[in-house]
Structure 1
């Protein structure tokens, strides 16, 4: 396979409307085989209403599908009306039994009320904070659109809740587990974890065209920064930016009433792992390691997720140092990681699309 062909199969991701504080979005496409065109789109109908969709557009091009969707949404009062109009406008696949399919949502950014419709064979997922995912079919009722059955209804999202739409089929338990592992963290990481699962999915392997995926997390008008259950920061300047991590830990500890001992252990764990990544993780001498840290309060525990773009490094596999040896005989290194493992109640490591991801859990007393 040529480099051009290899690059064409890599997932393409984007984060539109990232200037809005009420929500965050991550859109991705995964190229498969053939010419079937799947697409995603998200746009504001007005200052307080977000419309988003994924679908299979049959013989139409993506620009045609997006234009049809946006025109229909501007005139329609409900997602079901949008679905009806788009299906009437876009031509059905002439050479197969497949027709245009679409999942559409309209989200009130003031109240969190989400209206949706879905006539696809790939159920969308409703995600409740801190990561419990279930197919939307459990909260839908049956309706009729354009002579065909579809599923539609309404649900209210709270701060930290979200949705995941895909044309690749994500209702299997392993996709829900992947979401549950990462949902409190960065939305891009959640999408990457699902893409990892899609990579190995027999359903997607047999697909033609492009699998489209859309992930949304809702915060409301209070904004992402007001949700102190979750604090996120990016460290791009190396060790000199560790002060940002220290300040974030202090803010998190103060908001949740953490005792000094617990707060110190969390801070030291972040500083140790971030220092290791910045110091030893460089792929090339002149390269910088991008480190992302998120802190989440969940069910009596502090969840810390540390991601970096450095060399693969699993802290759970570092041998314990010989604490009985004298300082002269003791091997250099390993003590900091050992103390992190001892201080945390749970440490899990995995590689997600080429990035190191370490997830730490500390019970809050």
Structure 2
């Protein structure tokens, strides 16, 4: 492969997965480079209920720049996970790398409180339509819009969601700029921390155990008994193993998003992935009474998932597979009554 091919591949790998349908927020972003720079935007959940968004441009367009851009993306994620505010994150970043030719706009949102911190360095900007609170942070209300840009991408004349959606807002500004990245965040509603949690894992087998531990802690925090915890663990292991094994055909790293909520003792889990469209519920229920020689192969795992849970449903939303699992938790139901 030529250097140009490697640069093109690294550019493509910088693009994040499409933002899944969420009740708290909606995100659209994009990047464009005429020449002389590599730009990208990113979004991820560094902690429970915390959403981080960045827009970045790195000067240069050779393979060294592409490798540097990939490293900066991961470094920003790591720094945000270890700091309290966007400004502190960029200060930490600047203390550890050469920021010459680097433009970064960064926003960190607590989806439960609605408070957001932002910072920009180089040729970058962050504009937020919410109101600053006493601490200097901005508190968002439903309908508020945040705009991040890096490089030659400008700020829209009106920081409000247009009738045709924030995607049109992003595309319009990118088309007018020659080089850079932009990202728009539409805040829709606050989350409920006490009864909800969201986190992402990678599409590797090692991440399945990470997910199991996080789910177990969440269930135990809400008083679920061991039988319910074990049932959820077995069901999730089957679902996530299938997703990791068969869901992605491009060989690239992906994130799988898990959202958990408890209401009156009823647990709901959404497992979202942007792999190939696949409805596991379409697999026929196996005939357990048939002889081993004539029994149809496959379907046994999802059959057990259905028996362990009260309801399992599937949908395809915004390019994501969404599997929704529901179970009434005996332990929490008793405590609530």
Scaled by the length of structure 1, the TM-score of the pair is: 0.46
